[in-house]
Structure 1
């Protein structure tokens, strides 16, 4: 429930100028939690009692208690407030969080007047983009890389640090979201994954054919680079981007569909990848190389850019009508 609700809340709560960075940082906290979890379980590994698993389990209560104690101070979504007829509260929301409490601020008034916008257009295009983002996030080779990465690192004497590396990469990417734009991050990430995945396949083939340790170490290097390329877009952007491209009445539903689809695609990775990798070894990488190659034209021709736009102004390419850019200029100058 939180995974579906939080991206929608962040999209509305963040200032238009900061929405990309704030929304992307949300994804980075997955790795922060993974870091704490990994080191907590590692620290209790040698306890010779049931406390070895009870301590990490009990630690998970603390974030839930903090969330439950602070949830009452979280504001309600302004679009929901308008839908419920609580217009004054919705107007106050924009003044408080987007205009430093100034109720007659130009940006706050503009965002409030956009709430009654009647949304029409090709929502099937939005659904297609949602499914593609979920598919790319799961079927870009990250599943097969994760499956083989841990034993490779263990055989090389490298442990720990991977989640920290991922976390730092997501934070770095979050700082560029509103400077570079979503499309460029998606494209750059996919190109990086394509190049590194090809290199991983070549190194894996050489290592299996010759047992050359240099090929194995090169494979480790490119596995790290692949993770870095993946983290630059497909860790911070999917939830943010899905929430941005949908109107209010569809946003929560589509974010839920995005997570459900991602988990469904993830089941494939969990059950099929080990069998296929054992059967055809390095050749299985070619499947994901082809998938990543197909991502590039889909992203380039179909994915809309949301940088600098209010949530209302985002349109898939087929719905790009002549729309006023007044709110964009206001958001950039506030």
Structure 2
């Protein structure tokens, strides 16, 4: 009986945690802005921005992410590999943070906008390259949990950002009051530096190396990842399966943007991944992430308690996401998504209704109930949309077009974030808690869509996704629309299934 994790398991865990450090930078960048919206020094430096201007600062970040997803992130991941793409993303994100840190004078608002766009460009690269790397190094039976570490890193950054904001609020000297917010932004440079320094020392993914026609490097990388130095022959079945899948896709098509829209198999994957990312932001998560201290202020808490409660909420998200990491490969993606959206729907209807029944913070029990259900919302998001949107998107596309596919999907999420980021502060200002009814309707609709149109991908190898989505289109036969590759796909699927039976006990 083995009491300690195998060498391969230890390496898989270490690499996944290390890459989550990149996601930490991404999460910190999001969380620290939420604390600035209630920071008196930042408010003065930005010349007292109104609700629409705060919404613009939030939303413009996602313009940067959208531009990066469409034009920058996927070429970097394809050409440089997942790890060096992550390095570029971290450097660009820090440049954006530096611009925000230096915002002052008459141009402060403009500098904040420019810095947010640049940070969006960099964080978009991180947010796709990290889960891509984690997805491609993980065995199928562990892939969900491994990719969830991406979200754990993000919510950890979010939590630390809120606690930093809380700490800075207690820096009561003149320098602390008016300049402390600059330090809170600059702290992101520390984890980013460790991430950038470590990246050259980790291996590229075997799938990407095979895509770049580097079979010897792919062989060495897979031996390292599986800890098979003493028995390199053990990784041959897995390597051959990956190689066959890569060669098959390279033989029938070029990895162009148009393939995602013209190939019916890939289109079936694309709209599901993109819609999932879009719903993950439209469900209300962007509003809660960026305006949480502001939401708590509206529910009658002091600024100090609002920042503290935000830190507690974000810290609990880490635990909730760890729960998701433990259950996602047992319950599956679909069940956890449905459970999460049900919890979020209930939370939104409560936060919309109680302030209407008890306005102007006259009933403290009502306000505290709303706060409790905001915590429930975070739990629902942490076991549902939060990690699943990335897990699902990174595992459904074949290797040769995975980077392009996940970036298009993520760009749909950026569009949702732009909408919510601009809408929420203006909505709260004009229609109050009725704003939450919009999110309630979106979550109910999402439950129906997921229930009907999303297949379960739990336990499927990345190579077996072809058969899954082919069957969705062609019924009992695997078809690829009008591309004339039905026979080839059937052959590939059969080979994969036969191989899966032969080596089921040990391959993954």
Normalised TM-score (structure 2): 0.60
**1:224 correspondence with 2:362:** no
Q: Name which of 168, 186, 189 aligns with 1:61.
A: 189
Residue in structure 1 matching 2:282, options 139, 142, 151: 139
Please state if 1:150 is matched with 2:287.
Answer: no
Residue 200 of structure 1 deviates from its aligned partner by 2.4
> Which residue of structure 2 aligns with residue 79 of structure 1?
207
Task: Specify whether residues 325 and 145 from structure 1 end up closer, same or farther in structure 2 by C-alpha distance, changes over 3 A only.
Answer: farther
Q: CA deviation at 1:138?
A: 0.6
- List aligned pairs for 1:1-334, cutoff 5 A: 1-45=125-169, 46=171, 47-49=173-175, 52-98=180-226, 100-101=228-229, 102-105=231-234, 108-117=236-245, 118-119=248-249, 121-145=264-288, 149-154=292-297, 155-156=300-301, 158=305, 159=308, 160-208=311-359, 211-314=362-465, 315-316=468-469, 317-318=472-473, 321=478, 323=493, 324=497, 326-327=499-500, 330=503, 333=506
CA contact (8 A) 2:279 2:416 kept: no
Distance of aligned partners of 1:187 and 1:111 in 2 relative to their CA distance in 1, 3 Å threshold: farther
8 Å contact from structure 1 (residues 99, 108) kept in 2: no
> Does the CA contact (< 8 Å) of 2:398 and 2:463 recur in 1?
yes
TM-score by length of 1: 0.88
Closer/same/farther in 2, CA of residues 200 and 332 from structure 1, 3 Å limit: farther
Gaps of 5+ in 1: none
Q: Deviations over 1:43-78 (max 9, x none)?
A: 344253276245434432222221222111221222
Are residues 200 and 52 of structure 1, via their aligned partners in 2, closer, same or farther at CA, if it must alter by over 3 Å? closer
Distance in 1, matches of 2:445 and 2:416, equals: 17
Q: Is the 8 A contact 1:147 1:274 kept in 2?
A: no
Contact 1:246 / 1:254 at 8 angstroms: preserved in 2?
A: yes
Alignment RMSD = 2.7
Q: Deviations over 1:213-255 (max 9, x none)?
A: 3222221221211111111122222222111011112211122
Contact 1:17 1:331 in 2 (8 A): no
Contact 1:144 1:273 in 2 (8 A): yes
Distance 2:276 2:420 in 1: 16
**Contact kept in structure 2, 1:25 and 1:174, CA below 8 Å:** yes
Higher share of residues assigned helix: 2
Cα gap change, 1:53 to 1:328, in 2 (>3 Å): farther
Does 111-120 or 294-303 show the bigger shift?
Answer: 111-120
Deviates more, 1:254-263 or 1:110-119: 110-119
Between 190-199 and 206-215, the greater mean CA deviation after superposition: 206-215
Task: Determine if contact 2:275/2:412 at 8 Å carries over to the other structure.
Answer: no
Structure 1: how far apart are the matches of 2:379 and 2:502?
A: 34
Supply the distance in 2 between the matched residues of 1:325 and 1:98 (Cα, whole angstroms). 22
Please tell me whether the aligned partners of residues 308 and 332 of structure 1 are also in contact (alpha carbons under 8 angstroms).
no
